[in-house]
Chains A and B, each alone.
Chain A
């Protein structure tokens, strides 16, 4: 996890930080033998992503939605060496490519905190369906990144919608679905080369109907909501003991268990590694949960075992306990208007996003959909309009945060991306008009300053291996 960084911190510091991260990653990758001790979460399988070199660019004339609540008219932005160097009057450089973006709008790169791209790729067939390890209610051992197919043709479609970063989560069949991963939306041969350097991993948890339906239909626990809760608590009890035993061994200088006279570390257990990582605060909890009453139970469980819930996902009833969520500092990742396929998602109101924000809690618009991820700007527009329709005062400068800075916050990467601030990564989307218009399209998408997508240049529109030679795809590409 990156340390929080002030917006004004100098580029030099930022780059140094980034470089040190890269080095950490490189040294991990170079390690020939697996660590002998029980590792803390997130250490193996590091990112091999490296920003592509890009020439400095000065984007002038655009209307900026910064992601920090500001709207700046006709304000230049200078991007060099992958980072935002200057905004406004100071954004000048003699030797730089200038993009005249007069009449256009510039936003931070769009971030989706809930996606299954790559682990539920297209075409959706048994061969590629790798998102839900539906074999046990507790599969905390599995990692979504190990299922991601980097050649999923849905990645470039999301890029065309301005998505620069996304969290890929396991499905919600299980109480503990496994670890999620934050990826940069860059074409790559390996998942490691997409991994967001330094981003914390997450744990996907799920309450409600899905686990009890999947396992109840097999005459197996959980088959009820009380069974769900018991399943959570039993797992956390084991995880607490595992963590304590590990801590005692480490404290006694016996992390590798070689000294028989000192407290021994526990036998290595992948699922408990994950849960202990949560208890240690290294892994962020992203909890699929629809109903207000169930979210309240999940908050109590977190309190009982001493961990923190970062975000409730889907949370169609967040508005019923918006005050509680504000007090607890828990984000809500929400849809603008989806509802109704299950009883637990029947109480949607279109003002959910706006009401949560109004209560002072962190509101996020997420997709959980390969269609929706292509137009999160429109989802945010609908959520904004729903608030305005009942007289709430919300504008674009606020609403852009639901798909940028707030999302970055929930993924623990807000020091790096999610807003247009000096020192932040050059993750930017240039829209042909106000992105809250249904007619808006992303014209250019930058990741770490590199132009990964240009609507007017087919050479700047990536194709996956899957796309190649599929004559059926035709001009669709």
Chain B
């Protein structure tokens, strides 16, 4: 068990997180829990190596009650026949901006970062002094059309990360579920940082200066006392330092987006120096430092399909990065690297398998490993007794793109399989018809 898991098992939640309580109570108030028995499917519980064939899954009060063969179905349970189907936990993407944007090029729909770069052609914005104190959770949009589109393809939860802003530390991310409302499950899930040539533009153009700023900022945060702090030019605001201090004390993970092997080592050193649980995101060259990452128990969020030497920081990008990390003993998590198409997560996982990663490990990378890494609670990302009942009934092997999700359940409730895209399809699927298109 790594540092992260130990922490989350030992605490009841991030310190002083009133928002968590608010979110949780809203969740409970809205739910009308159905009791469901899904029978006949091949079930990947993520608890055992082999799937349970012809299994029965009992769901009650939003949680998994039992999974096994020949279970008695209690009275009042709705029976769902899934014979010949495959059931997995709902899929979790470990790095998205779901809920924070609708149309990338329309700035009024984008809340992904604190930046001076206007996205809608308005030129440079006034610098706004908010770095690690930025919190994505206030702008999450439950009506985003991206949520139903991705949900109907099996995505049930996602880590929502701030993108790189005006500081190497970009702020707090959150965990959401892809339901129709009450999507915020856990704010202040993790702090997000960036070490790259692009982020170094905020520290005079040098990655060295960037790493120094991270060390300096965390040191200042440890020493920070409200009322006794004099802000220096270029230094963090009291608001950012308070947030950083809170972050360090919370034990929440620091997720650093970094590609070059050397800077991955720097991130590991930083996390070790401040005793912060570290997660690497991106990590195009992580395979080069796989042994270090394994020894330090640092999970890596990989976009498997990122194999292009697209920048000088990613010359070592390769298709079997995830496989090599897994073989070295590193915990590998996946991201789709997308927002409109988080649904590509299973394609990412399937390609990892094609490049030699064991199928079970690829499935774990989009279910129980992100749940463990981000402390989503006991059993999350698995189909075991007591786990939140997030599950998907698939037409077959879910990593095969020729299969699809037939039903999706989140927290024990069947979700609508409709999206804006299915509505458009229904309107135009036939060119014949009496009604004008606008009435279809």
Contact = CB atoms under 8 A, between A and B. Distances in A.
A384 B402 contact: yes
A375 to B, nearest CB: 7
A337 B146 contact: no
Contacts of B315: 123, 470, 472-473
A339 B310 contact: no
Contact of B350 (A343, A438, A476): A438
Given A341-B103, A341-B340, A437 B288 contact: no
Identify the interface centre among A153, A209, A349: most chain B CB within 10 Å of its CB.
Answer: A349
Interface stretch (B134-142, B174-182, B425-433): B425-433
A350 B341 CA distance: 11
Nearest to A341: B104
Contacts of A342: 103-106
Interface string B181-225: 000000000000000000000000000000000000000000000
A338 interface: yes
A381 B315 CA distance: 30
A440 B347 CA distance: 12
Contacts of B104: 340-342
B318 A475 contact: yes
Nearest to A154: B308
Contacts of A441: 354
Contacts of A359: 431
A288 to B, nearest CB: 15
A349 B419 CA distance: 10
Contacts of B121: 213, 217
Given A340-B103, A348-B421, A438-B354, A153 B401 contact: no
B312 interface: yes
Contacts of A378: 347, 351, 401
A346 B422 CA distance: 13
A292 to B, nearest CB: 9
B431 A322 contact: yes
Interface string B386-417: 00000000000001111110000000000000
A192 B316 CA distance: 30
Contact of B429 (A124, A390, A440): A390
Contacts of B341: 337-339
A410 B242 CA distance: 60
B402 A436 contact: yes
Contacts of A438: 347, 350-351, 353-354, 399-401
A237 to B, nearest CB: 31
Given A322-B431, A349-B425, A378-B401, A340 B146 contact: yes
B372 to A, nearest CB: 25
A381 B346 CA distance: 13
A355 B316 contact: no
B359 to A, nearest CB: 9
Given A124-B310, A476-B316, A390 B425 contact: yes
A474 B288 contact: yes
B383 interface: no
B305 interface: yes
A319 interface: yes
Identify the interface centre among B287, B340, B343, B428: most chain A CB within 10 Å of its CB.
Answer: B428
A321 B105 CA distance: 26
Contact of A122 (B305, B310, B428): B310
Interface in A446-477: 466, 470, 472-476
A134 to B, nearest CB: 15
A371 interface: yes
Interface string A291-335: 000000000000000000000000000011011000000000000
Nearest to B350: A438
A370 B308 contact: yes
A125 interface: yes
Nearest to B311: A123
Interface in A101-125: 122-125
A382 interface: yes
Interface in B341-390: 341, 343-344, 347, 350-351, 353-354
A351 interface: yes
Interface residues of A, number: 54
Contacts of B75: none
A390 B261 CA distance: 45
Contacts of B351: 375, 378, 438
Interface string A334-367: 0001111111001111110001000100000000
B354 A346 contact: no
B431 A323 contact: yes
B288 A343 contact: no
A389 interface: yes
A437 B397 CA distance: 11
Nearest to A440: B354
Interface string B100-112: 0011111000000
A385 interface: yes
B285 interface: yes
A437 B308 contact: no
Nearest to A292: B428
A316 B319 CA distance: 29
A157 interface: yes
Nearest to A385: B402
A337 B343 contact: yes
Given A350-B421, A438-B347, A473 B103 contact: no
A355 B404 CA distance: 18
B428 A320 contact: yes
A154 B287 CA distance: 20
B317 interface: yes
B310 A157 contact: no
B235 interface: no
Interface string B228-270: 0000000000000000000000000000000001000000000
A343 B145 CA distance: 13
A382 B401 contact: yes
Interface string B275-316: 000000000010110000000000000000111111110111
A268 to B, nearest CB: 38
A385 B404 contact: yes
Contact of A153 (B309, B343, B402, B424): B309
B318 A349 contact: no
A325 B193 CA distance: 48
A355 B308 contact: no
A61 B146 CA distance: 45
A88 B346 CA distance: 37
A47 B340 CA distance: 41
Contacts of A347: 424
A441 B288 CA distance: 24
A122 B401 contact: no
A363 to B, nearest CB: 15
A99 to B, nearest CB: 22
Contacts of A346: 103
A213 B107 CA distance: 14
Nearest to B105: A342
B401 A381 contact: yes
Interface string B105-125: 110000000000000010000
Interface of B: 102-106, 121, 146, 261, 285, 287-288, 305-312, 314-318, 339-341, 343-344, 347, 350-351, 353-354, 399-404, 421-422, 424-425, 428-429, 431, 437
Q: Which 8 A-B residue pairs are closest in the complex by CB-CB distance? A: A438-B350, A340-B340, A476-B318, A472-B315, A341-B104, A323-B431, A381-B401, A349-B425
18 contacts: A122-B310, A213-B105, A323-B431, A340-B146, A342-B105, A343-B103, A343-B106, A349-B421, A355-B428, A384-B402, A390-B425, A437-B400, A438-B351, A438-B353, A439-B350, A441-B354, A474-B318, A476-B307
Interface of A: 122-125, 153-154, 157, 209, 213, 217, 319-320, 322-323, 337-343, 346-351, 355, 359, 370-371, 374-375, 378, 381-382, 384-385, 388-390, 436-441, 466, 470, 472-476
Given A157-B307, A157-B308, A217-B121, 7 more contacts: A123-B315, A323-B431, A339-B421, A349-B421, A370-B310, A378-B351, A382-B347
